[in-house]
C-alpha cells in the first residue's frame, strides 16, 4: 500500500506538471479529480503512508489566526521604473561606464504579488510574501494550493530559494468578479488586486478556490549547484519543475532590448494574464555583483512600465442589464474600437451616480480604456467635441424586462427591480440555485435552464423538484438518458444540506460562508426564518446589512412559498452538527526536530483534528513546542520566551 500511494502520488504530480506548468494536459479534469479523490481516500485510511507535501494538500482548509512574519535572508528588492526609451538609454549608458558590452535579458513583468519559495532537499518548506523587502508574511499553506508550484522538486538540492510572481489568470478574474457581482459584493479592481486578496486569506480553502497561478523569475539562493547567468538559472529552474517567465530574450544592445519591449507590449492584450511592463536585467551574475544595488533596487535591472492604452469613440446609446438580484446596470453601447488587443463595443457604466459625476450623455465622444487591460470602462467625456445634440441620461422608472416600478434605497447606489418573478432575474436565480457552491445540480447548465424556463415549466428554483420525466424528454439537447440523469441529479441535491440551501436561495448579501454560519447557529430553516435582526447581529460575521437582508427575505410571501415547496419536495432543511473533540481549541503548536514515531505531517493532522493549530515559527502566543531529536533554533527561542516544551511521550498522553 505504501508503494501504491507513492506511485499514485507521483502520477498525480506528473499530471499537475503537464497541466499547470507545460499547459499540455494528458488527461481530462474528471480523470484528474478521480485520482485526487482516490489518493485522499487512501491517505485517510492509511495516514502513516501519506507523503510529505502530498498533492492533496492543494485543496486547502487550514485556518490561521494570522500570518507569522518571515525575515528574508536575501532582500527581495524592488525595481527602478522607466517610462520612455530615453530613460532606458540613460540606464544603458550608466552601465557601460562600468561593464563593457553588457548582455541583457528582457522578460515580461507579470502584474501580481511577489513571493519567495524555499525548498530543503527538494521539499517545499516555506513560502512568504515580499512585504517591505526585508520582512514578509508566512503564507505557506496558501501557496500550497497553487497547482503550478511544485511541492517536490525533481532534484534534492540541499537548499534553494526562488522568487516568483503569483497572479490570477484573466478567466479566473472574470469568473470571480461575476460571482461577487451576483452576491452584490465589491468587485476587485484588477487581477493583481484579486491575487493579493486571495493569497492573504486566513482560510487556505478560499485561496484554493481562487485558481491562482505563478511564474518563477529568479533564484535568490542556492546550495549544491553553481549558476553563472540569469538565462542559465531560468533553464535550470525548468528542469526542477518550476513554471518560469513565459518568454525571455537575450539582447546585446539597448535598441534590441527596446524592440523586444515593444513586441511584448503589442501582444499583451492576447495574453491570458495581466502584465504591467517588461524587465531588462544584466544576464551575467559577476557583472551584477560589480554593479551592486541602491538601498531598495538593483543597479543592474530596470522595469519599463506600459501606459494604459486609451481610445476615443462615440457612445451611441445606454442600455440596461437586469442582474440576478434585480440591480439595473447601465451599459454604454459604443462605436466599436480596438483597444489592448480586442475590439470593444460595450462598457459598464456601473450606476447613475457614475454617469452623473462624469456628465456622460448619449452621443458623447468618450475616452475608454481597459481597467487592468481587461474590463472596458469609460474614463471621461471629451466635452470639447460636443455638438449640442447629446442627450443627458435618466434611469428608467420601470424595469425594462417586467415593467415593475424600480426603487432606489437611500443608502444604496443601485437602482433595483423588486419583482421576484421578473424573468431576467428568474434565469439568473435558477443558474445560481443549481451552481456548484449552491445545490450542485450536475448537468443543469445555463442552456438547459433557459429551455426549461422558455417552456414555462418553472416559475422559481423550487419548481425544479417538481419536474417530470415527460416534461424533459421532449426538449432539445435532452434525450431519454440525459433527462433521467438530470432528474437523478435533482433528487441527489435534496440532501445538499441547509447551508447550501441558504446560499442557493439567493438572499442578498449572503454568501456560502454565511450560509454555513447560519446553518450551524439555527439548525433548521424554521428557526432561521423566525430570527430577528437583533438575534442575527449577535452572531459573529453577520452584520446589520446581512441581518436586514435575511429578515426581509423571510418576510416575503413568495419566499415562504418557496420554503414550503422545498419542504413538501423532501429537501433537507436541517443541519447536522458533527460532534468534535476540541481539546486543543485555542492552542498553537510549533513542531521542531525529528519525532520518534510521528512525522510532522501526522502530528500536525492530530493537532488540527482536536481543534488546535500549528505554526512554523515560535512566538509569545505559542502554547507548546513539540520537540524531537536535532531540534534547532525554534527550541532555543521557546526556551528564551518561556514557552512550554513537550516531547512525543507527553504529546501522546495529551491525545490519549
Question: Could you give the CA distance from residue 12 to residue 20 in angstroms, rounded to a whole number?
Answer: 12
Count of C-beta atoms within a 10 Å radius of residue 348: 18
How many angstroms separate the Cα of 519 from the Cα of each of 111, 214, 351? 39, 36, 34
Of 110, 118, 117, nearest in space to 79 by CA:
110
SS3 at position 240: helix
Question: Residues 138, 616: contact at Cβ < 8 Å?
Answer: yes
**How many other CB atoms sit within 10 Å of the CB of residue 75?**
15
Q: Please list the alpha-helical segments (H only) found in 474-579.
A: 480-492, 498-504, 512-522, 525-529, 533-537, 544-554, 557-569
Q: Work out the end-to-end distance of the chain between its first and last CA atoms, rounded to an integer number of angstroms.
A: 27
Alpha carbons 282 and 103: distance in angstroms, whole number: 6
| Separation between Cα atoms, residue 254 and residue 104, nearest integer Å | 8
Q: At what angle do helices 29-45 and 2-16 cross, to 10 degrees?
A: 150
Is 109 considered catalytic here? yes
d(CA 245, CA 218): 9
Distance CA(605)–CA(622), nearest Å, equals: 17
E strands in 255-300: 275-282
d(CA 505, CA 521): 18
386/548 Cα distance (integer angstroms):
45
Question: Strand, coil or helix: what is 384?
Answer: helix
DSSP-assigned beta bridge partners for residue 405? 398
Cβ–Cβ < 8 Å for 603, 595: yes
Q: Which helix (H) or strand (E) holds 367?
A: strand 365-371
User: Annotated catalytic residue: which of 109, 281, 572, 613?
Assistant: 109
Among 236, 369, 359, 362, residue whose Cα is nearest residue 310: 369
Contact 393, 361 (CB under 8 A): yes
Does the CA dihedral 191-197-200-201 come out positive or negative? Answer: negative
Where are the strands (E) in 275-322, listed by range? Answer: 275-282, 301-305, 310-322
Q: Rounded distance, CA 199 to CA 217, Å?
A: 19
The single residue listed with the C-alpha cell 558590452 is 101
Query: At which residue does the C-alpha cell 449572503 appear?
Result: 510
Q: How many CA atoms lie within 13 A of 582 on its CB side?
A: 6
Taking the C-alpha atoms of residue 169 and residue 271, their distance in angstroms, rounded to an integer, is 9
Residue partners of 212: CB distance under 8 A and separation at least 6: 145, 146, 166, 167, 168, 172, 195, 198, 199
Helices 85-96 and 254-267 sit at what angle, rounded to 10 degrees? 150
Would you name the residues annotated as active-site residues?
Answer: 109
Amino acid at each position: 500500500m505504501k508503494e501504491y500511494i507513492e506511485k499514485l502520488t507521483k502520477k498525480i504530480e506528473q499530471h499537475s506538471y503537464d497541466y499547470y506548468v507545460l499547459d499540455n494536459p494528458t488527461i481530462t479534469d474528471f480523470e484528474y479529480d478521480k485520482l485526487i479523490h482516490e489518493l485522499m481516500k487512501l491517505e485517510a485510511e492509511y495516514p502513516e503512508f501519506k507523503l510529505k507535501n502530498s498533492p492533496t494538500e492543494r485543496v486547502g482548509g487550514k485556518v490561521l489566526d494570522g500570518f507569522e512574519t518571515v525575515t528574508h535572508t536575501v532582500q527581495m528588492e524592488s525595481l527602478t521604473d522607466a517610462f520612455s526609451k530615453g530613460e532606458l538609454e540613460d540606464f544603458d549608458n550608466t552601465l557601460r561606464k562600468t561593464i563593457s558590452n553588457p548582455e541583457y535579458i528582457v522578460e515580461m513583468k507579470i502584474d501580481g504579488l511577489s513571493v519567495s519559495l524555499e525548498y530543503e532537499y527538494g521539499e517545499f518548506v516555506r513560502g512568504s510574501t515580499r512585504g517591505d523587502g526585508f520582512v514578509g508574511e508566512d503564507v505557506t499553506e496558501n501557496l500550497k494550493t497553487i497547482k503550478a508550484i511544485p511541492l517536490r522538486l525533481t532534484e534534492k538540492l540541499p537548499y534553494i530559494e526562488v522568487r516568483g510572481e503569483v497572479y490570477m489568470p484573466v478567466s479566473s478574474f472574470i469568473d470571480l468578479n461575476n460571482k461577487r457581482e451576483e452576491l452584490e459584493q465589491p468587485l476587485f479592481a484588477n487581477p493583481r488586486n484579486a491575487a493579493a486578496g486571495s493569497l492573504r486569506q486566513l482560510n487556505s480553502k478560499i485561496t484554493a478556490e481562487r485558481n491562482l497561478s505563478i511564474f518563477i523569475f529568479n533564484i535568490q539562493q542556492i546550495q549544491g549547484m553553481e549558476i553563472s547567468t540569469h538565462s542559465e538559472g531560468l533553464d535550470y529552474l525548468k528542469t526542477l519543475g518550476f513554471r518560469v517567465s513565459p518568454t525571455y530574450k537575450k539582447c546585446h544592445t539597448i535598441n534590441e532590448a527596446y524592440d523586444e519591449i515593444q513586441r511584448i507590449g503589442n501582444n499583451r492584450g492576447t495574453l491570458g494574464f495581466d502584465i504591467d511592463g517588461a524587465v531588462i536585467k544584466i544576464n551575467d551574475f559577476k557583472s551584477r555583483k560589480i554593479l551592486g544595488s541602491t538601498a531598495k533596487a538593483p543597479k543592474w535591472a530596470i522595469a519599463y512600465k506600459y501606459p494604459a492604452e486609451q481610445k476615443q469613440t462615440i457612445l451611441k446609446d445606454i442600455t440596461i442589464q437586469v442582474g440576478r438580484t434585480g440591480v439595473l446596470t447601465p451599459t454604454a453601447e459604443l462605436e466599436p474600437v480596438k483597444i489592448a488587443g480586442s475590439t470593444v463595443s460595450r462598457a459598464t457604466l456601473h450606476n447613475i451616480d457614475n454617469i452623473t459625476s462624469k456628465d456622460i450623455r448619449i452621443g458623447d465622444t468618450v475616452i475608454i480604456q481597459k481597467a487592468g487591460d481587461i474590463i472596458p470602462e469609460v474614463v471621461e467625456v471629451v466635452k470639447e467635441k460636443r455638438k449640442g445634440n447629446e442627450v443627458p441620461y435618466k434611469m428608467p422608472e420601470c424595469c425594462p424586462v417586467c415593467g415593475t416600478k424600480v426603487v432606489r434605497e437611500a443608502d444604496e447606489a443601485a437602482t433595483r427591480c423588486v419583482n421576484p418573478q421578473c424573468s431576467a432575474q428568474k434565469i439568473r436565480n435558477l443558474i445560481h440555485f443549481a451552481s456548484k457552491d449552491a445545490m450542485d445540480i450536475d448537468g443543469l447548465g445555463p442552456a438547459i435552464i433557459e429551455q426549461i424556463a422558455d417552456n414555462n415549466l418553472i416559475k422559481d428554483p423550487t419548481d425544479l423538484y417538481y419536474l417530470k420525466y415527460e416534461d424533459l424528454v421532449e426538449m432539445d439537447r435532452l434525450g431519454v438518458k440525459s433527462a433521467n440523469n438530470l432528474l437523478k441529479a435533482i433528487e441527489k441535491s435534496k440532501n445538499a444540506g441547509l447551508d447550501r440551501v441558504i446560499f442557493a436561495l439567493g438572499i442578498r448579501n449572503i454568501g456560502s460562508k454565511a450560509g454555513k454560519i447560519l446553518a450551524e447557529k439555527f439548525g433548521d430553516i424554521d428557526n432561521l426564518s423566525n430570527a430577528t435582526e437583533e438575534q442575527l447581529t449577535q452572531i459573529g460575521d453577520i452584520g446589520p446589512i446581512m441581518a436586514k437582508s435575511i429578515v426581509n427575505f423571510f418576510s416575503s410571501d413568495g419566499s415562504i412559498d418557496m420554503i414550503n415547496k422545498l419542504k413538501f419536495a423532501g429537501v433537507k432543511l436541517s443541519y447536522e452538527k458533527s460532534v468534535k473533540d476540541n481539546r486543543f481549541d485555542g492552542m498553537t503548536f510549533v513542531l521542531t526536530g525529528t519525532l520518534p514515531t510521528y512525522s510532522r505531517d501526522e502530528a500536525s493532522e492530530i493537532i488540527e483534528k482536536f481543534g488546535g493549530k500549528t505554526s512554523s515559527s515560535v512566538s509569545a502566543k505559542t502554547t507548546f513546542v513539540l520537540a524531537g531529536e536535532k531540534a534547532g533554533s525554534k527550541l532555543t527561542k521557546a526556551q528564551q520566551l518561556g514557552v512550554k516544551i513537550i516531547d512525543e511521550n507527553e504529546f501522546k498522553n495529551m491525545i490519549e
